[in-house]
Amino acid sequence: MKKETAEENKTNTAANNTAANQGNKSQEENTGTSAAEASAGKVSEAANGLAQNKKEGMQNGNGQSYLEKFFMDMLKDIYWAEKSLVTAIPKMKDAATTEELKDAFEDHLYQTQKHVSRLEKVFQLRGQKPEGKKCEAMEGLTKEAESIIKETEEMSMTRDAALIIAAQKVEHYEIASYGGMVQLAITMGWQQIADILDKTLEEEEDTDQLLTDIAEEFINIEAEGEGKSQVEEDVYENA
């Protein structure tokens, strides 16, 4: 009986050891799974943190994206430029020789005043007060026009030809500015603003074409002959 009991105990012990080993193995597997899940959770949390940091990094202190801030800077720049043209265009009109060019400048002045009002509407749509930021480019272009007036003969076609070129430099700057702003507004989903700016863009392009037509019709041709007659007279007198 003692022998049988010993063998039974031995069998029971082996069975218990097997069960214990299986339990330990199952616990190790569960521990490994939990560790893997925890590691995956940390990776996911880290990824979310990076995404949030990147999103926050793409904004300035006012909650604007960098692109929106750049757009608003351009808006302030062109607003200053348009308001400065309200003062500069009348000077160019007064200095012009032909009625065709004077009329073109007068029409451009009227359009520029409308452009200022439209820009103020854009500021309003963005919930901001209209504000100008000095436009170095436009300041330089208007100073160039003033220099042309001083350096050309009064009542000459040469002055008109030069004024047209000066005015078209202004138009090309405005066309580039408005064209870029339209595309930025579309990119940011501001369709109403894009439509407002696009209307101005079309008018700037029309003005540029009008100036080209005036120059090509007769002003450039007549300007080319100015000064020749005096030179010919001097040559004849000295012959």
What lies within 8 Å, CB to CB, of 75 at 6+ separation is 119, 122, 123, 126, 181
41 & 117 share domain? no
What are the angstrom distances between the C-alpha of 109 and each of 95, 140, 201? 15, 19, 15
**pLDDT score recorded for residue 204:** 98
**pLDDT score recorded for residue 131:** 96
**pLDDT score recorded for residue 64:** 75
Task: Choose one of 9, 32, 57: the last residue of a domain.
Answer: 57
Residue 237 lies in a domain: no
DSSP state, residue 156: -
187 & 132 share domain? yes
With the CA atoms of 65, 67, 73 and 76 taken in that order, what torsion angle do they form, in degrees rounded to the nearest 10? -100
77 & 35 share domain? no
Which residues form the domain of 120? Answer: 66-230
**pLDDT score recorded for residue 108:** 97
> What is the rounded distance in angstroms from the CA atom of residue 28 to the CA atom of residue 64?
51
Token pair 């200095």: residue: 95
Q: Quote helix, strand, coil % in the chain, to nearest 5.
A: 85, 0, 15
pLDDT for 81-120, tens place per residue? 999 999 999 999 999 999 999 999 999 999 999 999 999 9
**pLDDT score recorded for residue 16:** 53
**pLDDT score recorded for residue 128:** 95
154 & 180 share domain? yes
Residue 45 lies in a domain: yes
**pLDDT score recorded for residue 109:** 97
CATH code, 159: 1.20.1260.10
| Short-list 147, 157, 164, CA closest to 207 | 164
The strand pairing partners of 65, in sequence order, are 59
3-state SS record for 81-105: HHHHHHHHHHHHHHHCCCHHHHHHH
| Short-list 144, 138, 147, 156, CA closest to 223 | 156
Q: Full-prediction pTM beyond 0.75? A: no
32 & 114 share domain? no
Residues in the chain predicted with pLDDT less than 50, given as ranges, are 1-4, 6, 11, 15, 19-20, 33, 36, 38, 40, 42-43, 46-47, 49-57, 231-236
**Phi/psi-derived region of residue 126, left when phi > 0, alpha when psi is between -120 and 50, beta in every other case:** alpha
Residue 202 lies in a domain: yes
- Total of domains in the chain: 2
